């Protein structure tokens, strides 16, 4: 296994200290944002040293390349994009604080996602559907590195899927914008131009996310270790466990122990940097 250290801005002095700490044989540059430390060995001080230097790290098998994978699956809210869409929609009703508190509890794994979603969506009843467009146009931004990541995946011939406990209004637009091959989310019921406070059909929760991943993986004839999954909260635990390589992006504590890599100081394109894709 090789230790890979990365960040959007790598401090070379800190990198050398980590190499010394782990007994690495060398420091090899992979991309301008990532470095391989061959011969490095696990050390109890590694996590603290990386956190202090604002560096991310991961242990990868020798020779592991991006082209070894065939499918990338990602969450949307607070992973691909910078907001929790339902919180911003609720802000249009003057209920952002109330809804955000429920969202936070669900992301931390403190309450069941299905229960939390139903409670939050019910609070949106009566809101004009046009509010969704306002959130998309004025509040939603891609997280750093999202576009570069999708472009790199496409160059490598890797299929991509956006799967979210959020809403189809946003996933459909992001699918078209970024070129995802597949997208799944919850559909808000609308009547006479207003939200009813209900979801149409089955709820996409953590188990459904993992099921979508497994179904598409099997359809593509891929092995588990050929799938990368990315997320940030408790609702993403099942799909990260179902993937061969799980990435936690600026995650809640509950997700850290499940992931193979936590990106706290890199953009989403850190996934490319890990495997040497410098596009």
Give the Cα-Cα-Cα angle 33, 63, 274 (nearest 5 degrees): 25
Is-catalytic flag, 202? no
Please state, in angstroms and rounded to a whole number, the distance separating the CA atoms of residues 99 and 219.
37
Give 147-167 as a DSSP string.
Answer: HHHHHHHHHTT-EEEEEEEEE
Please state, in angstroms and rounded to a whole number, the distance separating the CA atoms of residues 31 and 279.
9
**All residues at 6 or more sequence positions from 211 whose CB lies less than 8 Å from its CB, including other chains:** none
**All residues at 6 or more sequence positions from 214 whose CB lies less than 8 Å from its CB, including other chains:** 242
State the catalytic residue, choosing from 77, 205, 232, 273. 77
Among 147, 162, 150, which residue's Cα sits nearest to residue 216?
A: 162
Cα within 13 Å of Cα(40), Cβ side? 31
Burial 126-144, CB ≥16 within 10 A → b, else e: ebeeebbeebbeeebebbe
Task: Give the residues across from 246 on adjacent strands.
Answer: 229
Residue 163: both structure tokens together: 């799967």
Cα dihedral sign, 218-241-77-272: negative
Is-catalytic flag, 273? no
State the catalytic residue, choosing from 56, 68, 75, 232. 75
Q: Which residues are catalytic, by number?
A: 75, 77
């Amino acid at each position: 296994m090789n230790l890979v250290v990365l960040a959007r801005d790598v401090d070379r002095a800190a990198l050398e200290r980590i190499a010394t700490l782990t007994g690495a044989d060398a420091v090899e540059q992979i991309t301008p944002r990532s470095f391989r430390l061959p011969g490095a060995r696990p050390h109890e001080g590694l996590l603290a040293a990386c956190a202090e230097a604002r560096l991310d790290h991961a242990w990868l098998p020798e020779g592991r390349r991006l082209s070894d994978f065939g499918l990338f699956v990602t969450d949307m809210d607070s992973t691909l994009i910078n907001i929790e869409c339902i919180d911003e929609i609720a802000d249009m009703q003057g209920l952002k604080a109330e809804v955000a508190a429920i969202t936070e509890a669900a992301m931390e794994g403190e309450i069941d996602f299905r229960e939390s979603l139903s409670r939050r969506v019910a609070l949106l009843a009566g809101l004009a559907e046009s509010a969704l467009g306002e959130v998309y146009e004025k509040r939603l931004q891609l997280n750093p590195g999202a576009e570069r990541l999708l472009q790199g995946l496409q160059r490598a011939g890797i299929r991509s899927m956006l799967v979210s406990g959020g809403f189809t209004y946003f996933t459909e637009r992001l699918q078209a914008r970024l070129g995802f091959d597949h997208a799944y989310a919850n559909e808000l019921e609308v009547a006479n131009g207003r939200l009813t406070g209900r979801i149409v059909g089955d709820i996409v929760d953590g188990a459904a996310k993992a099921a979508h991943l497994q179904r598409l993986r099997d359809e593509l004839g891929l092995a588990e270790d050929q799938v990368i999954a990315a997320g940030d909260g408790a609702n993403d635990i099942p799909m990260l466990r179902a993937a061969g390589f799980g990435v936690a992006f600026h995650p809640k504590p509950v997700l850290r122990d499940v992931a193979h890599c936590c990106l706290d100081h890199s953009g989403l394109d850190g996934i490319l940097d890990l495997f040497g894709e410098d596009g």
